[in-house]
Amino acid sequence: MSIETLLQAALAVASVGLAGFCLVLARRLRRLNDLETGLGGAIAVMAAEVDRLERAIVAARSEATDASERLVADIARARKERAMWDLRQRIDAAATPQTRPVPARRLRKRAVNADA
């Protein structure tokens, strides 16, 4: 037997070994990519969840923006109402005559004089 024949036999054995290895890898890859039970299904489910979460985030961001705009409007309206209330209080205070409180001694004297 010559070296060439040995090399060809080794090449044939190596080719059969590689073919078997490729078959095993192909089967594993097919099982891995199976949409029902394999990693492919998990990836598909996760992609759907990511999409759903992205839509939820966009909706939440939109709601938060709307709520903050309404809050700003409510705060502005409350400040205007407070300013109007303060103005009414000042007008009412200016409209009522400023009377000094009558000391209690004078009230007693008036009550005694009224009874007599």
pLDDT in tens, 50-91: 999 999 999 999 999 999 999 999 999 999 999 999 999 998
Write down the domain spans for the chain.
47-95
36, 54, 80 from 47: Cα distances, Å: 15, 11, 50
Residues 6 or more apart whose Cβ sits within 8 Å of residue 38: 31, 32
- At residue 96 the predicted structure's pLDDT band, cuts being 50, 70 and 90, is confident
Over 60: is that where the pLDDT of 116 sits?
Answer: no
pTM: 0.47
